Structure formats: structure tokens, C-alpha cells
Amino acid sequence: MPDNIEYAILRSPKRKTLSIIIRSNSQVDVLAPQRMPEAVIHQFVQNKQTWIQKKLHFNHNIRASYQAKLFQQGELFQLLGKSYRLNIHNHHTEIHIADAQLIVPALPADKLKQKIIIWYKQQAQQHCQQRAQHFSASIGKTPASIGVKAYKSRWGSCHQDGRIYFNYRLIMAPARIIDYVIVHELCHLIHHNHGKDFWQRVESIMPDYHQANTWLKNNGLSLDL
């Protein structure tokens, strides 16, 4: 194996190209067509070993230092790039923001987490729907539908039938970062790949998309509960 990188091969009859996924636990998975020779897969991993090592370094150093929320009084929560302190209130039943605070009902931590996740999904759905409508006019394509999901390793997805889904955690990021992901997925309605034409289309709508992409790579872990 390339430089002792261990990886699992996950084959699919529907897949036509090779792809590598680095899981949060540093598991390296290679997604491959059903009949792709192992020698070809091995060479593909060999060619990608510098990228793989960078991702593994990120997992072992930056990801390892990340601390999940405890859902305790005073913790900081993000919404559209702004910080709000958690205020657990006995006299409120619904979540809302006031005076730079995320006011939530008094519940056990596990139930409070579930309620906050539902609230974040609602905020993400509303925001992404509005911004997708805004950018669709410039791109010239309208998605069949917009939804949110709890993706673990992606910020959005565009399906062949025009359905687009966004990671609800994006709502924690600054608005410009969310706009980039929305533009990215909308452009997939035209180009269903990451080729030169696709990136030119993205750049025509958002010339500084490189900055947003870099921000996500460096700060994506902070967008979590």
C-alpha cells in the first residue's frame, strides 16, 4: 500500500469513477466501480497520497482537539457567524434569540440537544431556501426542491432530478460561507461534476469562492453540536 496507507475498497456497480473519503476516525475508503482492477485503484491512491496525508494530519491534530457541546449554561453557540451564549430558562418553552443569547427551555442535556438541532434545521431550511431562490435567478436554474440533512462529511448535495440538500450545520457559518455552498450546489444543476466549466460557473457568480472554500476546510469542525 502507498506509504503504508491502509484503505478499504468499497465497490459499487453504479459508480464510474474513483473517489477517496477520509472519515472522521481517519478510516480511508476508496469508492470504486465494481470491476475496477485493484492495480488501478492502488495507483490512484499512490497518486493521492500527499492529499491523504494532509487529511490524516488534520484529523490527528485539529480534529482531535475539537470538543463537542455539553449544552450547559453560558456555552457559545453560532448562528450565521455570530456567537450567542446559551441561556437555559425555566419560563420559556420555545427556542429564540434575544440580547445576544440563545434562550432555551430547561431540559435534560440529551433532550435539549435534540430540540436545538430541530431549531437549527428550521433556521437552515428557511435561510437556504431564501438564498437559493436569490441565486437561482443569476444561475438560470431552479432546483426541484431544497432540503436540509445531517450530513457527516459533506456540506451539500445535488441530485440528478434537481433536488438539493444542505447540511443544516451550515447555518452556524457566516452568511457568505453559506452563500458559497448554495452557489456550488446550484451550479451542479448545470454541470454534474467538478470540471473546469463547473468552477468557472461558480466563479462567475462568486469570484471570491476560493476564500469561502478555504474557510470551510479550516473551520468546518467548529460547525457542530
Q: Which residues contact 16 (CB under 8 A, 6 or more apart)?
A: 33
How confident is the model at residue 3, as a pLDDT? 57
> Which residues, in sequence order, are CB contacts of 58 under 8 Å at separation 6+?
none
- Domains along the chain? 2-65 (no CATH), 108-222 (3.30.2010.10)
Nearest to 60 by CA among 22, 30, 29, 31: 22
Q: What percent of the chain has pLDDT over 90?
A: 74
Single pTM value for the model = 0.76
Tens digits of per-residue pLDDT, 73-94? 999 999 999 999 999 988 888 9
pLDDT of residue 217: 84
Identify which has the larger pLDDT, 134 or 61. 134
What pLDDT is recorded for position 51? Answer: 87
Q: For residue 66, is pLDDT > 90?
A: no
